[in-house]
Structure 1
Amino acid sequence: MKVVFAGTPEFAAVALRAIHQAGFEIPLVLTQPDRPAGRGMQLQASSVKGVALEYGIEVLQPLSLRMDSKDPQRASEAQAAHERLSSLDYDVMVVAAYGLILPRSTLDIAPCINIHGSLLPRWRGAAPIHRAIESGDRETGVTIMGMEEGLDTGPMMLVERVPIDDADTTGSLHDKLAALGAAMIVQALRRMEQGDLSATPQPEAGVTYAAKISKDEAKLDFSLPAEALWRKVRAFNPFPGAQGTVNGTAIKIWQAEPLDAQGTPGQVLAVDAGGIVVACGAGALRLQQLQKPGGKRLAAGEFLKSFPLAGMRFE
């Protein structure tokens, strides 16, 4: 079976590698255009493009797949991509965190199936892993689904569940779900080859949306309960990094835990090598790993040597 693949970040790259290693022919990969990244803002290829080039697979990087775009360049690139897809003899398109909307014109060429990092219909949208941790969900998973024009509304083909541990961050949970999604998509493709892949409509109840993460969300409000802030610290690790401000200095907080303590929200209650205890609206948060601007991530004891916080208050 011939598989066209569309995806961009590492989550998708893990799946692309698994599909290739399983022996499926991949005539074409779609991924987002190279973007400036890093301190030097040099153009960098996506993780998916890196894997595709490693395997010698043709890569297309259109700005859009919408041929009706009012932007002439986007419309032109979409037209070229549509013509290339239409000329290919392929059986299915696999999509994983591509980042572009697939219009009806693309969906009509061949069946499209998606690897989504949540238990649909919960957390449809761009940031399901972040939102599951932030909301305190006790489990999540991966859904293999058929694609429609709606936002993650298609029928479910395979579902696997994964518990969310107290130590999980978005980074650690991402890696678990990427590996699971890669195994599941290979299973789905093999069952599709055998004519044994059925689909079930998503239930109408339980729909939630995982909005894209903004950097402003990472600014911690210590008037909130410690439990909620603890979840945010984990949800925003590694991106965009939870942040607290002391005397105008923004400090990234990478690891923390909730405590049963009381005080004025934002006030530093205690400092030692084990952590920096900050009062919250309910309870307190022990900050265990921090980073000042231009510095490295440091355990609390090391951080305090260059940035003493005793008696200070987070804004």
Structure 2
Amino acid sequence: MTPPLRLVFAGTPDFAVPSLRACFASGADVVAVYTQPDRPAGRGRKLAASPVKEAALVAGVPVEQPESLRDPAARERLRAHAPDLMIVVAYGLILPKSVLAIPRLGCWNVHASLLPRWRGAAPIQRAILAGDIETGVDLMQMEAGLDTGPVLLERRTPIAPDDTGGCLHDRLAALGAETLASGLARVLRGETLVAQPQVVEGVTYAHKLDKAEAKLDWNAPAAALARKVRAFNPWPVAEAVIHGERVRIWSAEAITSRVDAAPGSLVATHRDAIDVATGEGLLRIHELQREGGRRMPVRDWLNARRDAGARGG
């Protein structure tokens, strides 16, 4: 009887959990789960386990949390697990060549973009910010470069005009797990997946998000600002000054309209929205958050800010 495929899984955030569960369900033997060390979280800054660690503990799988895989002791520990294949999904630590060479079948990565577009840390948000109309997930054979490896399987999905960073994240996490499950099923049937080299044209990099990017510049076009609001929901959340008050903006849409008002001016209020002038068109805001407060529909903000006045529209 052929021994089961021995898997080691490496991942950290929520995005990786569906893929970990796909490994559990595949029929392969998940012999260890690697995740980043517990980090301070919440107001009390107490050490908290990653979502992947929590899922592994529930499943009763041994958890490894090295600070780095460059440490020779950490590499020997990985080698002792004798993995046939290592699955990496949003792990957050660099895998040196010496680690990539340990599993018999190498290392697979689930990446949330259509490579070579949006290699790097924040492909989901960068795709929305750029106005892309399509994205997807690639199951990639890892090599030493940053998301440069050949692609084993690919699944595509459209980006809807109202997709936020959060809902697209969840959809791609599920799609990534389905793609990984398909790849594992084929290998377990004895197939050899053929890796296709990435094309050399169209390479872009999805740099890590910075909170400073969330500040809206009212001189920008409304369409670009609306994409920022969507991309940065639920983190870091777009923010701006409206009618003299700094707020976070959770939901907004671009309105194509000629505006004779300075960018940043509150030009109209509606029952459930407010219109702010931009460098090109209007940003119609539906949901926001006052400093120290909770998310609220705009009508609640208008009730609290009677000075905003009724401006029609």
Aligned-partner residue type, residue 228 of structure 2: K
1:116 and 2:111 correspond = yes
- Aligned twin of 1:236: 232
- Aligned twin of 1:18: 22
CA drift of 1:80 comes to: 2.7
Q: Is 1:218–1:236's contact at 8 Å kept on the other side of the alignment?
A: yes
Aligned-partner residue type, residue 241 of structure 2: T
1:139 and 2:137 correspond = no
RMSD (Å), alpha carbons = 1.5
Aligned-partner residue type, residue 290 of structure 2: K
Partners of 2:73 and 2:291 in 1: CA distance: 44
Matching residue within 191, 194, 197 for 1:198: 194
- Aligned twin of 1:255: 251
Note the alpha carbon deviations across 1:33-77, whole angstroms, 9 max, x for none: 1111222222211110010000111111111112xxxxxxxxxxx
Note the alpha carbon deviations across 1:64-109, whole angstroms, 9 max, x for none: 112xxxxxxxxxxx33321111112221000000011100110110
1:63 and 2:67 correspond = yes
CA drift of 1:232 comes to: 0.4
CA drift of 1:308 comes to: 4.6
Q: Is 1:13–1:48's contact at 8 Å kept on the other side of the alignment?
A: yes
Partners of 2:222 and 2:242 in 1: CA distance: 18
| 1:50-89 map, 5 Å | 50-66=54-70, 78-89=71-82
Matching residue within 275, 278, 286 for 1:277: 275
| 1:280-299 map, 5 Å | 280-299=278-297
- What SS is found at the alignment partner of 2:173? helix
Partners of 1:102 and 1:307 in 2: CA distance: 52
CA drift of 1:167 comes to: 1.1
Q: Is 1:290–1:297's contact at 8 Å kept on the other side of the alignment?
A: yes
Q: Is 2:221–2:278's contact at 8 Å kept on the other side of the alignment?
A: yes
- The unaligned stretches of length 5 or more in structure 2 are none
Matched pairs, number? 301
Which shifted more, 276-285 or 31-40?
A: 31-40
Aligned-partner residue type, residue 4 of structure 1: V
CA drift of 1:247 comes to: 7.0
Closer, same or farther: CA 286–246 of 1 in aligned 2, 3 Å: closer
Closer, same or farther: CA 196–256 of 1 in aligned 2, 3 Å: same
CA drift of 1:309 comes to: 6.4
| 1:122-271 map, 5 Å | 122-193=117-188, 194-246=190-242, 249-261=245-257, 262=259, 263-271=261-269
| 1:92-107 map, 5 Å | 92-107=85-100
Closer, same or farther: CA 118–308 of 1 in aligned 2, 3 Å: farther
TM-score of the two chains, using structure 2 as the length reference: 0.93
Which shifted more, 241-250 or 168-177?
A: 241-250
Please identify runs of 4+ aligned residues in structure 1 that moved more than 3 A. Answer: 246-249
Closer, same or farther: CA 217–168 of 1 in aligned 2, 3 Å: same
Note the alpha carbon deviations across 1:121-150, whole angstroms, 9 max, x for none: 000000000000010000000000000110
Partners of 2:169 and 2:286 in 1: CA distance: 22
- What SS is found at the alignment partner of 1:231? helix
Aligned-partner residue type, residue 264 of structure 1: A
Aligned-partner residue type, residue 12 of structure 2: T
Give the percent of matched residue pairs that are identical in Structure 1 and Structure 2.
Answer: 53
Q: Is 1:269–1:310's contact at 8 Å kept on the other side of the alignment?
A: no
Q: Is 2:26–2:184's contact at 8 Å kept on the other side of the alignment?
A: no
